[in-house]
Amino acid sequence: MTSVEKQPVEFDVIVAGAGPVGLTLAIDLGRRGVRCLLMERQPSTGPWPKMDRSNARTMEFFRRMGIAERVRALGYPDDVPMDVFVITRLVDPPLAHLKYPSVGEYRKAIAECTDGSQPLEPYQLVSQNKLEPLLREVAEATPNVTVRYGLELLSFEQDADSVRVKARCLDGGEEVHTARYLVGSDGGASAVRKQLDIKLQGTGGIRSMRQVCFRSEELFDRIPIGKGRHYYVADELGSTLIVQGDRKEFTLHSGLPEGTDFREAILDVVGFPFEFEILNVTNWTLHLLVAERYREKRVCLAGDSAHLVIPTGGLGMNSGVGDALDLSWKLAGTIAGWGGEQLLASYEYERRLVGLKNRDSSGWAAAGQLEWRKWWRSEIRDDSARGAEVRATLGRAAQHHHARIYAMVGVELGYSYAGSPLIRSEPGSLPDWTVTTYTPHTTPGVRIPHMWLKDGRALQDVLGQNYTILDLRADSDVSDLQSEFASINAPLDVVRLDEPHVREVFGASLFLLRPDLHIVWRGSKPPVGVDARALCALATGNVSTFEVEHLRAMTPENAAKPFGAQPTALRRA
C-alpha cells in the first residue's frame, strides 16, 4: 500500500486487537454512537488464563459499563481469602503468609467508609480466558460495533481524512476497510506500532519464563497450608503457582529449562500426588517498556502495544483498560465535531504519563521479590539446622519485602492528569503519586473519590457518561457554562445534590467532571461570562492562546480555596 485511494469511509474507528483492552474500547465507542470495527487475527477469544486480577479502578469502570457483577460471577467468590504465601512446597509450613481481605470483607470496609479513601468496587480475581468471552458477548450486542475474529491487520496507510487498512481472513482472502481513526490494541508485538516505527523505551528481555497451565478439580480443596491466590516458591527458578479465578485452572510460572518434565515440576511444587491435566505450556519474557509515542496522526496505541510491564503488581491489563476508557470518549468527541485539537492530543500526555509511572512501579514491586529470593540456598528444604536457618532468614525477608507487590493502591486510584491540556490545573496541583498509599483529594486532574450519599447511593452511580457539573449545594446558577457547552453541541449533564458531608470532605461545592470522572475544575462559585467560555474550551480541547492566559488569571473567588503546594487530604468525618 503506497498511497491512499479515496473511497467511502465505512467506520469511524477500526480497533485492531480484541483482547480485554480492544473489547472494552469497542464497547464504550459503540455506546457513544461511534461506528466501530473490532478485528482480531485469532479465530476466537484466548483459551489461556494470562491476567488474573481486575483491580478496583477497573472494577469501577466495569460498574459504569453495567457488567461488574457479571465479571464477578466468573471469578473468585466473595468469601474466598485473597491471601498470599511464600513456600517451599504446598505441603510444608509456609515461610511467609500475607493476609488480604476477601471481596466480601472488602465490600464491608467500603460500605462503612465515609471519607473517600476506599474505591467504590473491590478488586476481583477473574482469568482472562473467562473475561474475554463476556466482553465479546457484550461487544457483539452493542449497537454500532462490528466484531470480526479471524481478521488480521496486514498494513495500513493514512491521509488527512482517513485510515485505510488491509487485512487478511483465515482463508487467506484479503479485505480493505476504511475508517477515520485506527487504534492498535494488538499486544506487545503490535503490528500497528511496528508499522509506525514507534520505539519502546525502558528495559526489555529481563528474563525468560515458562507458563505451565494445568487443570485440576481437586487441588484447591486439598491445599493444606491455607487457601490463597498466589503461592511463591522459594527456589532458584523464580517459580510462582497462581490459582486462577475458577479455582480449577492453575498456572505455574517458572524459569524452567528446556527438556523439563512439567508434570514432575508441578508435583514437586505441590508435594503430594493429585489428578491434573496439563493444558498448555508457553514461553514469555519480562519487560519494562513504554512506547515513545502513543499516537501518530489518525492512529493511536492502547494496552500492551503501548506499554509492557512485569505482571507483578497487576498493572498490565488494568492500565490498558484505563487507556481504553480515556481514549474512547475523546475519539467520540473528536468524531462528533465538538472536540478540539487538544482533546485527542491529550490522550498521549495523560496515558503515557500513567504508563511511565506504572512501568516504574511494576519494576519496584518486582524488586521486592528479589529482596527475599536472594536469600535462597540449596539447603532450604533440608531437615537440618542449616535448612531451618535458611527458611527463617528468607521468610523474614519475604514477610517484609513481598507485600509491596500487593500494595499498589496509590497508582491504581491516585493517578492524576494535572498538567493535561484538558485540566484547569491549580498551583501545586501536581501531586506526588505514591505507590503504596492513596490519599484522596479533589485537586483537578484526579478521579473524583467515591462517596456515599445521604440516600445510600454511590456518588459515581448518579454521574452519567457525559461531562457533568456536580453542584453539591443544589442551588448554583450554572446556566452560562451550560450555554457554552450547548453552543458547541458538547454533552453536559447537571447533577444537583445537597450533600453537606460530601461538600465538607471534598472542600468545594462545584465541580466540572469529564466523562471518565476525572476533575476538570473545582470552585465555590460558578464561572460566568468569559470564565465559562474559557472553561468549556479547556475541557473540550478547544483552547486558544487567549483562553489559556484567561484561565490562568481566573479570579480567586471562582476557584477553589488555595491549599498550598500539597494536594488537599480529605478530612475524616
Q: Can you say whether the dihedral through the CA atoms of 503, 507, 511, 514 is positive or negative?
A: negative
Q: What is the pTM assigned to this prediction? A: 0.93
CATH of domain 11-75+127-201+291-363: 3.50.50.60
Q: List beta partners, residue 461.
A: none
Question: Do the strands 249-254 and 240-243 form a parallel or antiparallel pair, or are they unpaired?
Answer: antiparallel
414-558: CATH number: 3.40.30.120
Please state, in angstroms and rounded to a whole number, the distance separating the CA atoms of residues 541 and 351. 16
C-alpha cell at 104: 466480601
Count of Cβ atoms closer than 10 Å to residue 159 Cβ: 13
The C-alpha angle with vertex 54 and arms to 49 and 57, in degrees rounded to 5, equals: 160
Q: How many helices (H) and strands (E) does the chain have?
A: 16, 22
Amino acid letter for position 486: A
The pLDDT profile of the chain, 573 residues, written as one tens digit per residue, is 444 456 788 999 999 999 999 999 999 999 999 999 999 999 999 999 988 899 999 999 999 999 999 999 999 999 999 999 999 999 999 999 999 999 999 999 999 999 999 999 999 999 999 999 999 999 999 999 999 999 999 999 999 999 999 999 999 999 999 999 999 999 999 999 999 999 999 999 999 999 999 999 999 999 999 999 999 999 999 999 999 999 999 999 999 999 999 999 999 999 999 999 999 999 999 999 999 999 999 999 999 999 999 998 889 999 999 999 999 999 999 999 999 999 999 999 999 999 999 999 999 999 999 999 999 999 999 999 999 999 999 999 999 999 999 989 999 999 999 999 999 988 865 556 688 899 999 999 999 999 999 999 999 999 999 999 999 999 999 999 999 999 999 999 999 999 999 999 999 999 999 999 999 999 999 999 999 999 999 999 998 654 555 555 554 333 332 222 222 222 222
Where do the domains of the chain lie? 11-75+127-201+291-363, 414-558
Residues ≥6 apart with Cβ < 8 Å to 247: 76, 80, 220
Nearest 10 degrees: Cα torsion 421, 121, 306, 163: -70
Q: What pLDDT sits at residue 6?
A: 63
- Measure Cα distances from 366 to 309, 359, 373, 402 in Å: 10, 11, 11, 9
DSSP 518: B
Sequence-separated (6 or more) residues with CB below 8 Å from residue 404: 364, 365, 368, 435, 436
DSSP conformation letters of 49-72: ----EE-HHHHHHHHHTT-HHHHH
CA atoms within 13 A on the CB side of 228: 22
Measure the CA dihedral 268/273/279/283, to 10°: 0
Tell the burial category of 229 from Cβ atoms under 10 Å away from its Cβ (0-12, 13-18, 19+).
Answer: buried
